[in-house]
Amino acid sequence: MSKIHIMSEALANKISAGEVVEKCSSIVKELVENSIDAQATNIKINLIKGGLEAINVVDDGVGMDKNDARLAFARHATSKIIHDDDLFFVNTMGFRGEALPSIASVAEVELKTSDGKTSTYIHLKGGEVLEEKASDLRRGTDITVTNLFYNTPARLKFLKAENTEMYNSLSLIEKLSLAHPDIKFTLTNNEKVLLKTSGSGNLLKTIHEIYGLNVSNKMLEFKASNNDFDIYGYICKPEILRSNRNDISTFVNDRVIRNVEINRAINDAYYTYKPEGKYPVVVIKINTDPTLVDVNIHPTKQDIKISKIDVLYNLIYDTIKNCLYNNLLIPNALKEESVNIIKDKVIADIVNNMTKEEPAKVQTELDFKIDLASKEPNSSLELKTNNEIIANPEMKSLVLYPVGLALGTYVIAENEEGIYLIDQHAAQERINYEKYMRALKAKTLAKTSLLIPITLELSTSDFLKLKEKIPLLSELGFTFSEFGVNTFVVKEHPTWLLEGHEEESIRKIVDLILGGLDNFDPVKFNEKIAITLACKMSIKANYNITREEQEELLKELVVCDNPYNCPHGRPTIIKFSIYDLERMFKRVMN
């Protein structure tokens, strides 16, 4: 008797469901992506108890006729690809033909669909058709999933609590809304609206609808391209940071994806603009030839392979780095409160006149005036006629006049735009860091000899480790020689070491070498040297500096490449605008 046999289609679908349907949000993802492929412009997702009890997706797409509605639940039935070569030109969200049969095999599904000519209702449970009949003629598709995992109890018990399942679906729809700002999305849970976007096609407006005014008002637009990739999107100013990567939204050809290299490019571009362990809010859309992307490596289609990833990395890194460099990034101490007060006033003024206006006109005026109100006086942002906010590069020539020192730590300065508080330690850290980086990158190496050599006595293991890195130390400008048992003597060092702190600096560099030999990267090592020495050799808090020292500190800070953050990502400077001060003292009353 043969041991090998062909499994039933129902069993194959259940196995496939294990890959495609992991949780409620997996079903939401597959159904909504089908709606997007159906050219829908309005998609409504209705959840009951976070999707544990029911998931309903309604769209106004092209719909299906009776035959297509039947075939949609057949395994590997798809309208997306026909020939083998089509796999190299996938432009749709789905194409495998696995989602609907997989969902139907582990749940109860009711489908209503119409192409505008015919209409169909199909009711399935466990993959078997229970009822099929004509339905209403509303163009589009209405699909409801209930009794999820009723026939696979092992998977049912792994579903999370209602709030967790609801959050997963909400997070997914937020991403899809950003990927498709031209589609109107509405998400409800237990008939309560959780998310609603306008489908305006304006990415910044969609960011505002998802994250709110405080975030959207601090986003910077970027755009760049090369022979292989076009990138476009928004990045946040360093004052808006998160504790995880969840708000880094990456899209390739409008597909929500996860890619380690893209995330690394974004994170590296923010290097020294943010503290370690904090992450920016980023929305980046990447368009490229489908032949450079392989989305067929996992059923969820979120993990993809990208050809020429090194080219894409450099494009993203350089573009974001330049965007940050060319924009004014001084956080305004009271900006969020000011904007909210103005916003509330604008809304109140418009609502008071609402009876005189048509609702559509009122909403348009409201959107426009709120955008306009969010631009404080003397802001570095300007409003275009199409309501898109763009950055106006201006910093690099900022002049600050010191007027005193607070708490022995914060330099108080002023100019015609307001008052500034400067953290003297963070500011000098930035100044020293850039000095060290310039010295480390210099083609010519200036060295100085020590009248009294510095002796370093090490353990045997550390001595052997350091001995391997003597060529690296020579490249940095140090002359190390063996001197007795497990001992080195330093006879020369580069001139960029801070005078009076030579031995301390050398020991710091040696500690860095001994502590970071795995996957050694010379570039990152040089940055680590610059950051470490800059921190240790800078003015400490609670140390009073003279007016002349304050002036010199500010002059050196404003000409830095990044005067806004210390090398660890902490802010160096915070602004109180004249408008903020006058409002605080009631000189202005709005």
For residue 397, what pLDDT is reported?
64
CA distance to 247, 272, 277, 281, 552, per residue, from 243 (Å): 10, 16, 7, 10, 35
Report residue 463: phi and psi, to 5°.
-60, -45
Asked if residues 41 and 60 have their Cβ atoms less than 8 Å apart, the reply is yes
Tokens 């119409």 sit on residue: 114
Q: What is the CATH number of domain 447-494+499-536?
A: 3.30.1370.100
How far is residue 527's CA from residue 236's CA, in Å, rounded to a whole number?
Answer: 24
Considering only the C-alpha atoms of the chain, give the largest distance between any 2 of them, rounded to a whole number of Å: 97
pLDDT of the residue at 354? 42
* C-alpha dist (Å) from residue 321 to 247, 265, 515, 521: 19, 10, 29, 21
Q: What is the dihedral of CA 538, 277, 279, 577, to 10 degrees?
A: -40
- The pLDDT assigned to 477 comes to 82
Q: For the packed helices 424-441 and 522-536, what is the interaxial angle rounded to 10 degrees? A: 140
Q: What are phi and psi of 282, to 5 degrees?
A: -135, 135
Cα four-point dihedral sign 248, 250, 256, 257:
negative
Instruction: Cite the beta strand spans of 292-427 per DSSP E.
Output: 293-294, 305-306, 381-383, 389-391, 401-406, 410-415, 418-423
Q: Which amino acid is at 343?
A: K
Q: Alpha-carbon torsion 6, 11, 13, 16, what sign?
A: negative
**411 vs 190: CA distance, rounded Å:** 54
The tokens describing 201, both together, are: 């096609």
Residue that the structure tokens 């029911």 belong to: 54
Q: Which is it for the CA torsion 14, 17, 19, 23, positive or negative?
A: negative
Half-sphere exposure of 63 (CA within 13 A, CB side): 21
Architecture in CATH for domain 9-196: 2-Layer Sandwich (3.30)
Residues near 91 by beta carbon (within 8 Å), at least 6 away in sequence: 253, 290
Q: Go through the chain and tell me how many residues it has.
A: 590
Q: Which two tokens stand for residue 115?
A: 């192409």
SS3 219: strand
Q: Which residue blocks in 115-161 are alpha helix, DSSP H?
A: 153-156
Taking the alpha carbons at both ends of the chain, their separation in whole angstroms is: 88
Q: What is the DSSP letter of 479?
A: E
The closest alpha carbon to 59, from 71, 73, 45, belongs to 45
C-beta of residue 304 within 8 angstroms of C-beta of residue 177: no
pLDDT of residue 373: 41
What is d(CA 568, CA 435) in angstroms, rounded to the nearest whole number? 16
- What is the C-alpha to C-alpha distance for residues 43 and 186, in angstroms, rounded to an integer? 6
Measured distance CA(359)–CA(401) in Å, rounded: 50
Cα(434)–Cα(411) distance, integer angstroms: 20
Q: Quick check: helix, strand or coil at residue 452?
A: strand
Residue 519: its pLDDT value, please?
Answer: 56
Which tokens is 254 given?
Answer: 């409008």
**Cα 298 off chain centre by:** 23
Q: Which amino acid is at 335?
A: K
Contact 252, 304 (CB under 8 A): yes
Other residues' Cβ atoms within 10 Å of the Cβ of residue 126: 18
DSSP-derived letter for residue 246 is G
Contact 77, 71 (CB under 8 A): yes
- What six digits make up the tokens of 577? 């605008």
Strand partners, 57: 45, 143
Domain ranges of the chain: 9-196, 203-324, 335-393, 447-494+499-536
Q: What is the DSSP letter of 356?
A: G
559: alpha, beta or left? (left if phi > 0; alpha if psi -120 to 50): alpha
Place of tokens 């920016």: 280
Cα distance between residue 118 and residue 113, in whole Å: 9
Bridge-based pairing of strands 447-457 and 410-415 is unpaired
Distance CA 294, CA 301 (A): 9
Backbone angles phi, psi at 273, to 5 degrees: -90, -10
CA angle 373, 378, 379 (to 5 degrees): 60
CB neighbours of 243 closer than 8 A, spacing ≥ 6? 277, 278, 279
Mean pLDDT by 10 residues, the chain (590 residues): 59 52 88 91 95 94 88 68 48 61 89 91 90 87 92 80 92 94 95 94 94 91 94 92 90 89 92 87 92 67 79 94 85 56 43 44 44 39 33 57 90 91 92 86 79 86 84 84 86 81 82 68 75 82 88 89 86 88 80
Phi, psi dihedrals of residue 448, rounded to the nearest 5°: -135, 145
Q: What's the fold here for domain 203-324?
A: Ribosomal Protein S5; domain 2 (3.30.230)
Q: What is the DSSP letter of 451?
A: E
Cβ pair 195, 173 in contact under 8 A: yes
